[in-house]
């Protein structure tokens, strides 16, 4: 984690530092050039104004006057005749000689720049012509020591250096805070996940931000609660499974012991053996159903959807169940319009409906009424199994889909239920992308409704 903040910091720093250097380089160059240009312009303007005066009064006195004025200023002047002979100079001409080149072609009245290489030369220089009566009479050379330009640029450099330092320091401070801000919540999340892996699921992460980090924190919390739930569910499941397996095994062992140890009359022996067989069947049924559930859980089980005509489908099931209905004198009614089509796996759908009908038969008195209905809605197909049996107490309704959940343990035990039927039904219904709803009232009856979205027309 620490490494991440260092990496981020260095990366940010290099990028920002590069940008700053790049920007400063161009800014500096631009400012320096325009400053020198201004100096040259000012120098030329000064030369031009001297030449304007001299054009009016071209005499020794005026030349001396101009020279005297310049001797007190930062700049220097040299006035030559048109052949380059010095007429007047504000200081020693020796250091200016190399600039006193008389141009071969005529120069404009605006003057021209003679030397602008401020970096290497000791002076920058301009030239302005003096015309008397329309004839070129003399030249005014203006000079400015580049030392002043250099000190100007030096000052600029100092400013840039200071600004550079300040921005580098600010960048470093900002980067430190920024990378802390990013890595701190990450560190917390790392701690939280290692807590989770140790089995401590009650982690709470302060979700301050609304960004990806906040999302990550939320996901981690969600993961923790999910894991907690799964762990609890697994514990309950294991507890109930061992209970469910133990009970029939105790019966089997008990009766087997009796049959083995005592000399029993044939009739009684037969009775005990029958119980043993029944309990063994129950056990193998239980294990088969558990295996089924495990397959659904793993998603290793595939739904092969087909187009099913519900009316024909239910008719066939009614025939299969007719014996069970007769035994309990059930008054069964099938309400399904012709041509009600559905996309479902026929084997699984049969398993679902059989389970629901089996419950309705099991938890209803003899002579009860059971209805199996199907109807079309705009965008869905509904199937419902309705009975007027014992019903389910309201507060137990949410629990009946749990594995091994039975409303009255003793009652259902005598009926041979395992409490897995509805758990399997729910998984199968969900595998179809459908919904299941329970509507039940104690001592009135139960209706279980399945909703399949999106029907199909043949
Ligand atoms: N139609 C119904 N009327 C009244 N109670 C019901 C009805 N259907 C389910 N129940 C209650 O819900 C419980 C769970 O049903 P489920 O089908 O999961 O288990 P089971 O019928 O006991 O066992 P299995 O179906 O595995 O043989 C039942 O034990 C019963 O108490
Ligand atoms: Mg059942």
Rg (CA), the chain: 51
Q: Ligand nearest 448 Cα, by number?
A: 1
Residue 423 alpha carbon to ligand 2 centre in Å: 9
The rounded percent of the chain whose pLDDT value lies above 90 is 36
Ligand 2 center to residue 110 CA distance, Å? 110
pLDDT in tens, 347-392: 889 989 999 999 999 999 999 999 999 999 988 999 999 999 999 9
Cβ pair 237, 226 in contact under 8 A: no
Q: How much distance in Å is there from the Cα of 401 to the middle of ligand 2?
A: 10
Looking at residues 13-17, what average pLDDT do you find?
Answer: 88
Nearest ligand to the C-alpha atom of residue 406: 1
Q: Give the mean pLDDT of the chain.
A: 87
Read off the tokens for 61: 């006195």
Q: Residues 15-29: what's their mean pLDDT? A: 89
Q: Of the residues 324, 419, 424, which should be mutated to test ligand 1's pocket, given the most ligand atoms within 8 Å of the CB?
A: 419
pLDDT digits over 90-137, tens only? 888 888 888 888 888 888 888 899 888 888 888 999 999 999 888 888
What would the two tokens of residue 349 be? 């759908």
Q: Is the pLDDT of residue 412 over 50?
A: no
CA of 301 to the centre of ligand 1 (A): 24
In the chain, CATH 1.10.287.130 covers 212-297
Task: Name which residue sits closest to atom 13 of ligand 1, judged by CA.
Answer: 406
Q: Which residues line ligand 1 (CB under 6 A)?
A: 355, 359-360, 362-363, 387, 389-392, 400, 405-407, 412, 417-423, 446
Report which bound ligand comes closest to the CA of 385. Answer: 1
DSSP SS3 for 54: helix
**Cα-to-centroid distance, 226 and ligand 1 (Å):** 27
Contact indicator for 182, 5 with CB cutoff of 8 Å = yes
- Residue/partner pairs of 223-230 with CB below 8 Å, 24 or more apart: 223/196, 224/192, 224/196, 225/201, 227/196, 227/201, 228/201, 228/202
Residues 6+ apart with CB under 8 A from 433: 452, 453
Query: pLDDT tens digits, residue range 269-308?
Result: 898 898 899 889 888 888 888 887 777 766 666 788 999 9
The label of the residue with tokens 């002979």 reads 85
pLDDT per residue as tens digits for the range 187-244: 888 888 998 888 888 887 777 778 888 888 888 888 888 888 888 878 877 877 887 7
Residue 139 has pLDDT above 70, yes or no: yes
Angle between helices 266-297 and 212-261 (to 10 degrees): 170
What is the percentage of the chain residues whose pLDDT exceeds 70?
95
Those residues whose C-beta lies under 8 Å from the C-beta of residue 392, and which sit 6 or more positions away, are 400, 407, 438, 440, 442, 446
- CATH 3.30.565.10 placement within the chain: 306-453
> Which ligand 1 atom lies nearest to the CA of residue 385?
1
Which listed CATH number (1.10.1060, 3.30.70, 3.30.450, 3.30.43) goes with 2-152?
3.30.450
Tell whether the model's pLDDT for residue 417 goes beyond 60: yes
Provide the angle, in degrees to the nearest 10, between the axes of the packed helices 421-431 and 266-297. 30
**Assigned fold of 212-297:** Helix Hairpins (1.10.287)
Best mutation site among 422, 427, 438, 447 for ligand 1 pocket (most ligand atoms within 8 Å of CB): 422
Mean pLDDT of 429-443: 93
User: Which architecture, in CATH terms, is 306-453?
Assistant: 2-Layer Sandwich (3.30)
Pocket test for ligand 1, best of 417, 429, 438 (most atoms within 8 A of CB): 417
Task: State in Å: Cα 358 to ligand 1 middle.
Answer: 9
80: tokens are 């030559």
Atom of ligand 1 nearest to the CA of 408: 31
Ligand 2 mean position, distance from CA 288 (Å): 14
Residues of the chain with CATH 3.30.450: 2-152
Q: 287: number of CA atoms within 13 Å, CB side?
A: 9
HEC string for 189-200: HHHHHHHHHCCC
């Amino acid at each position: 984690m620490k490494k991440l903040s260092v990496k981020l910091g260095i990366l940010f720093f290099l990028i920002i530092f590069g940008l700053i250097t790049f920007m400063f380089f161009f800014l500096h160059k631009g400012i320096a050039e325009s400053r020198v240009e201004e100096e040259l312009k000012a120098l030329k303007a000064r030369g031009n104004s001297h030449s304007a005066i001299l054009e009016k009064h071209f005499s020794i006195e005026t030349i001396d006057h101009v020279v005297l004025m310049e001797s007190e200023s930062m700049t220097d002047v040299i006035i030559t005749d048109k052949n380059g002979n010095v007429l007047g100079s504000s200081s020693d001409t020796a250091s200016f000689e190399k600039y006193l080149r008389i141009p071969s072609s005529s120069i404009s009245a605006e003057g021209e720049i003679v030397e602008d290489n401020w970096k290497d030369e000791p002076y920058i220089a301009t030239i302005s012509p003096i015309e008397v009566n329309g004839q070129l009479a003399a030249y005014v050379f203006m000079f400015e020591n580049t030392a002043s330009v250099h000190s100007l640029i030096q000052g600029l450099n100092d400013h840039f250096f200071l600004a550079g330092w300040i921005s580098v320091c600010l960048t470093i401070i900002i980067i430190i805070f920024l990378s802390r801000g990013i890595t701190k919540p990450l560190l917390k999340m790392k701690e939280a996940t290692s807590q989770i892996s140790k089995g401590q699921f009650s982690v709470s992460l302060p979700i301050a931000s609304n960004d990806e980090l906040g999302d990550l924190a939320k996901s981690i919390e969600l993961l923790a609660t999910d894991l907690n739930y799964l762990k609890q569910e697994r514990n309950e499941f294991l507890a109930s499974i061992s209970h469910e397996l133990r009970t029939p095994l105790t019966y089997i062992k008990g009766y087997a012991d009796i049959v083995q140890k005592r000399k029993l009359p044939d009739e009684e022996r037969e009775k005990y053996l029958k119980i043993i067989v029944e309990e063994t069947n129950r056990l193998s049924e239980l294990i088969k159903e558990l295996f089924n559930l495990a397959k659904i859980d793993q998603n290793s089980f595939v739904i092969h959807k087909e187009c099913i005509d519900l009316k024909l489908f239910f008719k066939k099931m009614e025939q299969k169940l007719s014996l069970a209905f007769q035994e309990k004198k059930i008054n069964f009614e099938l309400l399904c319009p012709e041509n009600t089509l559905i996309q479902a796996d026929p084997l699984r759908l049969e398993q679902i409906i059989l389970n629901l009908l089996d419950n309705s038969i099991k938890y209803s008195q003899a002579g009860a009424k059971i209805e199996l209905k199907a109807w079309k809605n705009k965008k869905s197909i509904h199937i419902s199994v309705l009975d007027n049996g014992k019903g389910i107490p309201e507060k137990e309704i949410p629990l009946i889909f749990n594995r091994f959940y039975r409303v009255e343990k003793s009652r259902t035990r005598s009926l041979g239920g395992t409490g897995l039927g509805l758990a399997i039904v729910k998984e199968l219904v969900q595998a179809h992308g459908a919904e299941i709803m329970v509507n039940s009232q104690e001592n009135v009856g139960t209706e279980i409704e399945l909703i399949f979205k999106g029907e199909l027309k043949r």
